[in-house]
Amino acid sequence: MKLSIIGSGYVGLVTGACLANVDQHVTCLDIDEKKINKLRNGIIPIYEPGLEGLIKEKVASSSLTFSSNISETVKNTDVIFIAVGTPTNKENDSADLSQVYSCAEEIAKNIKNNTIVILKSTVPVGTCDKIEEIINLSNPSINFDVVSNPEFLREGSAIFDFENPDRIIIGTKEKNSISTLNSIYKKQIKNNFPVIFTTRRSSELIKYASNSMLAMRIIFINEIADLCEKVGANVEDISLGIGLDKRIGPDFLNAGPGFGGSCFPKDARALVESGKSYNAPQNLLKAVIDGNEKRKENLSKRIIEVAKNRKNIGVLGVTYKANTDDIREAPSLSIIPDLINKGFNVSIYDPQASRDGIKEFEEANWESDIYSVAKKSDCLVILTEWSEIISMDLKKISDIMTQPIIIDFRNLFSLDSFKKLNIEYHSIGRETINSHKEVE
């Protein structure tokens, strides 16, 4: 069976490499010729643990190829995945489906009989119907099926997630497609990961509802953390206490800087917009989005309040989470420009984030490691939970900086770690440790 994947980004490349790993012949396609040339030359355009090795192995065994010739590839493909971006529209908060529909047009012109088109991109309900319409209009006599198969992988553990999914959702009622999808996911099925067959519309909505539910948990625990700070409670104990309730569960109850990334913010906005257009208001989710925006503003205010007249701020981690180079909608994108506009000098260290072309960081200084940032800072702000930051030498930090302050928006350290160090430590939803006086 010949598979092609349109869109060679985080989802497309991982899907392509993982499917090539189960004896399929896969072509990853992209409109961006530079990206395809890089891939052909063995340069992987994104950072995702394990991806580079897997891609190189599959290219070497000829099960994975790259092309920017979408029309030619589509003509020779049995199954076409669409994994292009669905960002927020520039004019309103709905999903911009132009990349998806442009793929549909390209497929419509070149599709052969009995092809299955699988939509992996995250899209509002009805998008698969629309793709079907576009193909039918160009090619009324052809036999094909459009299937919804949303992706749930997490950047940073994407290969593991693809191979060990919590569930696979497949939206189609066509028997042939069901049997083809069963064969595509044979490894996951053999390993007993749940596969849910449903309608296309339910499948499309499951993805938005999942991301929105996770976003809600993040905002919920963040607001509880704010209350903890006011009343002298500890948010980690609260998370433990509520997470042990089996009806609630322990995941996604870590207080932090708010959600970012390429999915939660845009998907939450798109679901609110869908609710509006069908007159089924998503009021809870609207409050979640507003709460997240407010949180980023409040974090800048908090840094400024704690730093007082110290003007040199070091930021550790700018990606929206660890183990990815993705900074889309990361809290750093609003916090760093805010600090610079208020007259602070900002130094940055991140193990993977790209330094180029990000206008929000243009006036900041990039350093090559944590301790170089510390040397230039009066106050360190932790935004990402990179393991390198978790394992940083706090004693060395306290030796390098004079009267050091750490503002940790990820709660990476136990409060006890600071009891004997000359560091003022602020975190989220927990007591502030100010050991400066005790050490003196």
Closer to ligand NAD at the Cβ: 103 or 336? 103
What are 31's two structure tokens? 């409109």
Closer to ligand NAD at the Cβ: 155 or 385? 155
Which residues neighbour 339 within 8 Å (Cβ) at sequence distance 6 or greater?
A: 300, 303, 304, 313, 346
CB atoms within 10 A of CB 92: 10
Q: Is residue 318 part of the contact set for ligand NAD (CB under 6 A)?
A: no
Q: Is residue 99 part of the contact set for ligand NAD (CB under 6 A)?
A: yes
Among the candidate windows 97-105, 238-246, 366-374, 400-408, which touches ligand NAD by CB under 6 A? 97-105
Q: Is residue 155 part of the contact set for ligand NAD (CB under 6 A)?
A: yes
**Contacts to ligand NAD from residues 239-298, by CB under 6 A:** 262-263
Q: Is residue 102 part of the contact set for ligand NAD (CB under 6 A)?
A: yes
**Which residue in the list 18, 103, 263, 379 is annotated as catalytic?**
263
Closer to ligand NAD at the Cβ: 82 or 370? 82
Calculate the alpha carbon distances from 354 to 325, 326, 351, 359, 361 in Å.
Answer: 7, 8, 9, 12, 10
What are 103's two structure tokens? 């793929």
Rounded to a whole number of angstroms, the minimum distance from the CB of residue 92 to ligand NAD is 17
Mark residue 95 as left, alpha or beta (left: phi above 0; alpha: psi -120 to 50; beta: remaining). Answer: beta
Closer to ligand NAD at the Cβ: 11 or 221? 11
Rounded to a whole number of angstroms, the minimum distance from the CB of residue 151 to ligand NAD is 4
CB atoms within 10 A of CB 20: 25
Residues touching ligand NAD, count (CB under 6 A) = 28
- The C-alpha angle with vertex 171 and arms to 170 and 173, in degrees rounded to 5, equals 115
DSSP 409: T
Q: Which of 22, 25, 32, 214 binds ligand NAD (CB under 6 A)?
A: 32
- Verify whether residue 228 is a known catalytic residue: no
Q: Is residue 124 part of the contact set for ligand NAD (CB under 6 A)?
A: no
Classify residue 189 by burial, with Cβ atoms within 10 Å: 0-12, 13-18, 19+: middle
**Which parts of this chain interact with ligand NAD (CB under 6 A)?**
6-12, 29-32, 35, 70, 83-86, 99, 102-103, 120-122, 151, 153, 155, 262-263
Residues marked active site are found at: 263
